Amino acid sequence: MFSVVTHIYHCNTTFECYSSCNMVFIHLANIFLLFGIISTFVYYGSNLGSHLDNISPQTFSSSWEKYGWFTLVLYLSQYLALLALPQAVFNFLGFLLFNPFPGDPQIEKPISLVPFICFRVVTKGDYPELVQNNVQRNINTCLDAGLKNFIIEVVADKSTSLVSSLHVREVIVPADYQTSSGAMFKARALQYCLEDRVNQLDDEDWVVHLDEETLLTVNSVRGIINFVCKGKHQFGQGMITYANEQIINYFLTLCDTFRVAEDMGKIQFQLRVLRMPILGWKGSYIVSQLGAERKVSYDNGPDSSVAEDTYFGILAASQGYSFDFIHGNMCEKSPFSLMDFLQQRKRWLQGLLLVAHSSRLPFSVYAWITMPLTTANLFLKPIFPIPVPQVVDISVSFIGGIWMFLYIYGTCRSFSIARVGVFKFLLLLMTGVIVTPFKVVVENIAVVWGLFTPKHKFFVVKKDIAVVSTFHCVCASICIGLTHFWGPVANWGIPIAAIADSGKDVSMISGKMTLALTLYSMIFMRFAWKVQPRNLLLFACHFTNSGAQMFQGYRFLNHYYGKKKEETSS
């Protein structure tokens, strides 16, 4: 607090004093909200399922007597959920140590001292108009920021019909090109750019990696200029937002607000404090010095090719290179459809699993894979209380509180009041909080899907708005929203009720209704899988319900027929 007062005292102008005080107030308010949400989750979450009463099991053996083999599931869901604790702690420290609403960056050195910067866009070439438009927009943004010494290099599998100029270069990756280790997909294209016969940059030059839909902002260009001029670190990354310009799918955009929050929390803490992305980073908005990038290389085999960004970052850190966080945000788009969203998340999860199992990397951490376990605890703990150490209860609740905070902050950061207005901002904020359970369900489906499908695949989401007419987008969003989102959401009331009833008196169970609901869910599981596009949210709903109903059926049969058999035998 003394340093804050001293800083304000030495401000030269009233405006600077006001701005500094405003930043401090915003940071303190954000910390207050953070601690408030975490405290709420810890207070109520750590008491849910606590064994302070005489009815709940007091030991593992008493839990086994009451729940049978299901006791193992309950304990696994509690302890394995702790694998997400490092990610939650990193996010917590990132928001605690750094202001999540920093001011706009200003160029700190003369523009003439800025080294050469190559903005590298990797694409399959399926959307040439999108690439052409974004290249021109990004050139204009760089010029508006005062940057002159740069080029935008598009690396594609097929031509996007770009016209070469002072600031534009197109590189076509030959179909027969292969790396020595068999790298695939984006890693293969990135490695091709580093080949001696292709590369035109010096080792002291800098490369900024972008996706084909990424749009630069003046602030991001200024942040990059400051980063490369300092030259203290070989790699850097900044924040990406997704609620920009025309929004096709508000629900999926709200889901991506979680990623915005992780940029300012986990990634900022990793890069500014630890100087390494040990829990991963994104594949876009990566700024790297070419010499360091060539030494690390993208030629690291098939297992490194699905989540090439995370693999590259951890490998670079293990070789002694340092990282920093870059101020100024870039803009991208969330997936347009729920299926694209699930495919994208599935690929990320599978890539992270391959990274975690790689023998070449000295360290790796599981985190995202535990989301279904953490989510399951919200339902299992109050219904099936088991004795666990208080520190475990508090830690799992802490993870849940961090998740909720990330969604709230991400929504606030993505939809500014100045851009959408006060009323719409409050509406989006409330909507974001209300649909949080459905966001979590969608993310869980992607995790489960990724665990049980082939992992060496690379799905590219549709990114060009111009490909689909506005009318088609509106109609598709309404139809898919009704049949593939709101319909399944309404159905979730059935399994939730079944799970809640599983802790009640067995005499209340109707055997006929339980059988009917089990068969009903099995039929609709098949329907959800066969319909095109597959309705995975509905499938998950009825999969959960069938399991809950079968558990109720087991209780019913054991109560009415199991006891009679025991009495007869005795």
pLDDT of residue 484: 58
Tell me the average confidence (pLDDT) per consecutive run of 10 residues in the chain, 570 residues long. Answer: 38 47 84 93 66 60 80 82 88 95 90 94 92 96 95 94 92 94 93 94 96 95 96 96 86 89 96 93 94 95 89 93 96 87 83 80 65 69 79 87 91 84 83 76 77 69 57 49 61 81 81 88 84 77 86 85 58
N- to C-terminal Cα distance for the chain? 76
Max Cα separation, the chain? Answer: 95
Determine if the peptide bond prior to 533 is cis (ω within 30°). Answer: yes
pLDDT of residue 568: 54
Phi, psi for residue 168 in degrees, rounded to 5: -135, 135
Do 63 and 165 share a domain, yes or no? Answer: no
Helices (H), ranges, 46-99: 60-67, 70-79, 85-97
Do 387 and 426 share a domain, yes or no? Answer: yes
Do 167 and 291 share a domain, yes or no? Answer: yes
What does the block give as tokens for 67?
A: 């729940």
Chain segment 510-564, per-residue pLDDT in tens: 888 888 888 988 888 888 888 777 777 788 888 888 888 888 888 888 888 875 5
387 domain residue, yes or no:
yes
Tell me if the pTM is above 0.85. Answer: no
The tally of domains found in the chain comes to 3
Do 90 and 129 share a domain, yes or no? Answer: no
- State which of 417, 452, 487 marks the end of a domain: 452
Q: Which residues contact 563 (CB under 8 A, 6 or more apart)?
A: none
What does the block give as tokens for 327?
A: 């101020």
464 domain residue, yes or no:
no
pLDDT of residue 11: 41
Do 61 and 30 share a domain, yes or no? Answer: yes
Do 507 and 557 share a domain, yes or no? Answer: yes
Q: Which residues contact 409 (CB under 8 A, 6 or more apart)?
A: 30, 33, 95, 100, 257, 260, 261, 264
Do 174 and 277 share a domain, yes or no? Answer: yes
* Distance, C-alpha 204 to centroid of its chain: 32
Name 361's bridge partners: none
257 domain residue, yes or no:
yes
The contacts found for 399-403 with CB under 8 angstroms, 24 or more apart, are 399/81, 399/82, 399/84, 399/85, 399/88, 399/374, 400/41, 400/45, 400/374, 401/37, 401/38, 401/39, 401/40, 401/41, 401/42, 401/45, 402/38, 402/88, 402/91, 402/92, 403/88, 403/258, 403/374, 403/440
Do 333 and 379 share a domain, yes or no? Answer: no
320 domain residue, yes or no:
yes
Of 431, 523, 432, 535, nearest to 489 by C-alpha is 535
Do 316 and 421 share a domain, yes or no? Answer: no
350 domain residue, yes or no:
no
pLDDT of residue 9: 34
- Per the CB < 8 A criterion, the answer to whether 351 and 307 are in contact is yes
Distance CA 473, CA 480 (A): 10
pLDDT of residue 544: 86
Do 202 and 256 share a domain, yes or no? Answer: yes
| Structural domain range at position 172 | 111-337
Distance CA 542, CA 528 (A): 9
42 domain residue, yes or no:
yes
pLDDT of residue 483: 54
* Distance, C-alpha 404 to centroid of its chain: 13
Distance CA 87, CA 68 (A): 33
Our separate counts of H helices and E strands in the chain read 25, 9
Phi, psi for residue 150 in degrees, rounded to 5: -155, 165
Q: DSSP code of 24?
A: H
Distance CA 235, CA 274 (A): 13
